């Protein structure tokens, strides 16, 4: 997106790199995790236990 790159296309850090604080990679991972849980729930649905890989042995 526009806020993540410069005009030349080089990545720009969105967060400061103060020692002891989490960086951009951690924040981006957390955001992806929030979306992935909801996405998985929508894809698998209420009958997720009937999918062979999720079924109890």
CA 15 – CA 23 distance, rounded (Å): 6
Asked if residues 23 and 15 have their Cβ atoms less than 8 Å apart, the reply is yes
Asked if residues 22 and 34 have their Cβ atoms less than 8 Å apart, the reply is no
37 annotated binding-site participant: yes
Q: Which residues carry a binding-site annotation?
A: 37
Q: Which residues carry a binding-site annotation for heme?
A: 37
């Amino acid at each position: 997106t526009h806020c993540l790159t410069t005009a030349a296309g080089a990545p720009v850090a969105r967060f400061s790199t103060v020692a002891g604080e989490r960086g951009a990679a951690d924040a981006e991972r957390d955001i992806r995790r929030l979306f992935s849980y909801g996405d998985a729930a929508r894809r698998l649905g209420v009958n997720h236990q009937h999918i062979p890989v999720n079924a109890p042995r």
